[in-house]
Amino acid sequence: MHIYKILRPEDWAELERLGETSGAPVDVADGFVHFSTAGQVAETAAKHFSGEEGLILAAFDAGALGEALKWEVSRGGAEFPHLYAPLRRSDVIWHAPLPLVGGVHVFPEGM
């Protein structure tokens, strides 16, 4: 199963440069890296990244992240994947721009 991380340009640049990161400031503050499932990611974009341009969507294999990935109840009582380990560039399966069109982020087809 794929899970997704939305990254701001500076967070993606850090991941590319260093090979791993503790995540965005909200991830560091919460003590884990926030992910979303395919069914959750559009709402995550709208709620936490509204109107932001230049975002990158990165896909990860949930199973490959091992025991550091925990499924925990969050927004609306739904379980979200949270990574209690650094986010590693080597774990990215694919990444793509997340363009903003008419105020809405457009996700890649076939997610």
The Cα 60–Cα 4 span in angstroms is 6
Dump pLDDT digits (tens) for 31-65: 999 999 999 999 999 999 999 999 999 999 999 99
The pLDDT of residue 98: 97
Asked whether residue 77 carries a pLDDT value surpassing 90, the answer given is: no
Per CATH, which fold does 2-102 belong to? ADP-ribosylation fold (3.20.170)
The Cα 104–Cα 34 span in angstroms is 21
Give the confidence band of 29 by pLDDT, cuts at 50, 70, 90.
very high
Question: From residue 36, how far is each of 18, 43, 102 by CA, in Å?
Answer: 23, 9, 23
Global confidence as pTM: 0.94
Give the confidence band of 74 by pLDDT, cuts at 50, 70, 90.
confident
Tokens of 80: 């979200």
